[in-house]
Amino acid sequence: MARRDFDPDSVRPDGRRAAKARLFDTEAAGPWRGSCPGEKMEAPVTVLAYGTDKPGEGPRLHVHPYDETFVIIAGRARFFVGDEVIDAVAGEVVFGPKSVPHRFENLGPGRLQTIDIHHSPRWIQTDLD
C-alpha cells in the first residue's frame, strides 16, 4: 500500500547528517545494556536498551519530564504507569506520558528485552523509591 501523508516539497532538510552510534554491547552483563543520547546524534530522542532474565525484576519507580515509549523486543512485561497496569508482550509498544510515575517488570518465563525511547535529547530521570 503506497502512502502519501505529506507533500515532500513542503519540508526541507535542516542540515543534520545521518548518524550512527552503538546502543549496547551484546556481551555486556546486567540489565542496563546501554544508552544512546540524542545529543550525540543531533536527534530529539535518547534510546536505552534494557533486558533481564529474572522474573519480577525491572527498573525502580521513576518519572521523566518528557514522554517515554517502550518497545518490547522479547518476553512479557507488566507496566505500572500512574494508576494503569498494562501487560505487554514482544511486538507491542507501551506509551508513558511525561510526569507520570512508571516502572515495569519481567513477567517471565525467560528474557524480557526492551528498547526504551526517551522523547528528549538526553536522559533525565528522578527515582521515586
Task: Provide the domain limits for residue 101.
Answer: 44-129
Residue 38 lies in a domain: no
Number of domains in the chain: 1
The string of pLDDT tens digits covering residues 18-70 is 888 888 877 777 777 788 999 988 899 999 999 999 999 999 999 999 999 99
Q: What is the pLDDT of residue 8?
A: 86
CATH number of the structural domain spanning residue 108: 2.60.120.10
Residue 52 lies in a domain: yes
Q: What is the pLDDT of residue 30?
A: 77
Residue 76 lies in a domain: yes
Residue 119 makes CB contacts below 8 A (sequence gap 6+) with: 44, 45, 66, 67, 68, 69, 98
